Structure 1
Amino acid sequence: MDSFSKFTQNVSTSWTPFAEKVGKSFTQYKQMASETLGNTGEVTELPTDYITLEKRYDAVRQSINSLVRLSKAYTAPPTQFDMQALQSQFSSLTSRLGSKQVPQAVKNKELPPLTCQHEIARASLDVSEKIGLEEPLGAALFKFGSIEERVGTEKLKQDNAIDSKFVKPMTATLESSVALAQNARKQVQTARLSLDAAKATFKNATPEKADAARRDVESAEDHFVTIVEEAMNLMRAVVESPEPLRCLSEFVAAQLAFHKEAAALLGDLAPEIEEIQVTQEALYRHDNK
């Protein structure tokens, strides 16, 4: 019997906090349902300062979310290789070579980096070989492809800088300070529902339960004020943080470096292509007189 008594006491002790938690949750859901259906009277209003700060915080949070998403798209490779197709092409190549051995260095060669510029470079260089470098178009495409490859390399440097100095730190911000603020906002709503539920209980309490209900309201009010203050501190930390501006500065610096180098490379190329074009056009007009 003694063992059974201890067992029942332990079960009762361990289940009491759980029962209290369930009871509080039920009260909050009941209050939420009453508000949704319009069957409740007083609804505690959030402080004006809280509402104003919440709007500023939401604007910052949404802008960070959008910029991270767009930056990932901006730095993403334009295409993805189909590995099955690549393996099939390699098998076809080796079968055509027959007994010839493919150098191990070729087999292990990494795929070239993917940018739009690299894709254009590969296509231009491939066509230039087919046309022949002795032809004006072939020579121009070879020069163009060579420069586009270098521009692509600069684009990769830019993308890597944006990823490491903007996307990653901003993602870390979303997963840390912004996530904490979001959770605090949920706690504010939970605390408000608890407070309004306590007020509703006090309003309908019988005289013998009025004192206990009043104490519940006071306790809920204190908790509500504390939670609101904590949430405001966390939202303010996001709004006032210098991190987004620092990361934005890094983003601009990466773009500027890329465009400067690209402009220099293309600036050297443009007169060469123009010279080939003018010469070829003059020959064409001379031959067709």
Structure 2
Amino acid sequence: MDSFSKFTQNVSTSWSPFAEKMGKSFTQYKQMASESLGSTGEVTELPTDYITMERRYEAVRQSAISLVKLSKAYTAPPTQFDMQALQSQFFTMTFKHGSKNEAEARNEVKPPATCQHEIARASLDVSEKVGLEEPLGAALFKFGSIEERVGTEKLKQDQTIDAKFIKPMSATLESSIALAQNARKQVQAARLTLDAAKTTFKNARPEKADAARREVETAEDQFVTIVEEAMNLMRAVVESPEPLRCLSEFVAAQLAFHKEAAALLGDLAPEIEEIQVTQEALYRHDNK
């Protein structure tokens, strides 16, 4: 008998917090439903400062989500399907009648590191087939060699952006922004609890009015505290220098890549142009 009493006491002790939590949730859902149906009284308004801070915070949160998503797409390697299609088009334009072995080889290309690397592979492969002694073959060899180096610089840029922008910004989304998001939910829950308490007090019988009033006072104190905590967490997100530091790193990585790419292509352009001018002069001379 003592064992059974002890068991029921333990169950009661462990059940109480759960029941209390479920009771609060039910009260909040009931209040939310009443507000949706328009059958409730006056709804407690959030402080103007809170609304302003929430608007600023939400703008930062949305920008962080969008930029992380776009940056991942920007630094991701091209899909195998897209690059195979591009390479296939390149071969088709250059060799209208490729052999079966060549077609099979095209279907066995390795996953590209960057678009530049894949263009380099295709150009170098075609240059060998055309022959380096031919103007087109020589130009494609030079072009492929430079594109490979540009691709290597693109990989460096992508690795830097991943390490210094995507990862820290993702960490921010999972930490300070996640905490602020949870706090916003707590504010709404506290507001619903407060309004439910006000409704109960308004409809309370005289003998229960004092208890209902104390419930309102407790709910008001909790509401004020939770609103203040949420504002502090959102302010920490809005005023944090971390996004600007990450953005600076992003810009620096892009700038380094484009500078190096411009220098490499700047050296290549006059060489390709010289080959093109010479070939055009020879073509016109031979077709007079």
TM above 0.5, yes or no, is: yes
Q: Could you tell me how far 1:81 is from its partner in structure 2?
A: 7.5
Contact kept in structure 1, 2:78 and 2:112, CA below 8 Å: no
Which residues of 2 match residues 80-159 of structure 1 at below 5 A? Answer: 80=80, 114-159=113-158
> Which residues in structure 2 correspond to 1:1-289 (within 5 Å)?
1-80=1-80, 114-289=113-288
Deviation (angstroms), 1:115: 0.7
- Match of 1:46, SS state, is coil
Structure 2 CA distance for aligned equivalents of residues 267 and 112 of structure 1: 28
Distance in 1, matches of 2:111 and 2:145, equals: 14
- In the TM superposition, residue 114 of structure 1 has moved relative to its aligned partner by 1.5
Aligned AA (1:57): Y
Q: Deviations over 1:161-191 (max 9, x none)?
A: 1111000000000000000000000000000
Question: In 2, Cα distance between the equivalents of 1:8 and 1:270?
Answer: 86
Identity among equivalent pairs (%)? 89
Task: Find runs of 4+ consecutive structure 1 residues off by over 4 angstroms.
Answer: none
Question: Which amino acid in structure 2 is aligned with residue 32 of structure 1?
Answer: M
Q: Which consecutive residues of structure 2, in runs of 5 or more, have no partner in the other structure?
A: 83-99, 102-109
Q: Contact between 2:112 and 2:118, CA under 8 Å: does it hold in 1?
A: no
The Cα of 1:113 is off from its aligned counterpart by 5.1
Q: What is the CA–CA distance in structure 2 between the aligned matches of 1:241 and 1:169, rounded to whole Å?
A: 13
Per the TM alignment, residue 9 of structure 1 is displaced from its structure 2 partner at its CA by 2.7
Aligned to 1:97: none
- Report the AA paired with residue 162 of structure 1: I
TM-score normalised to structure 2 length: 0.88
Q: Distance in 2 between matches of 1:115 and 1:2?
A: 73
* Distance (whole Å) between structure 1 residues aligned to residue 182 and residue 75 of structure 2: 31
Contact residue 201 and residue 213 of structure 1 kept, 8 A: yes
TM-score scaled by length of structure 1: 0.88
- Secondary structure of residue in 2 paired with 1:78: coil
Alpha-carbon offset, residue 235 of structure 1: 0.3
Supply the distance in 1 between the matched residues of 2:4 and 2:148 (Cα, whole angstroms): 80
**CA apart distance, 1:3:** 3.1
Report SS of the residue matched to 1:77: coil
Post-superposition offset of 1:25? 1.1
RMSD of aligned alpha carbons: 1.9
Letter in 1 for 2:202: K
**What is the distance in 2 between the residues matched to 1:81 and 1:68?**
24
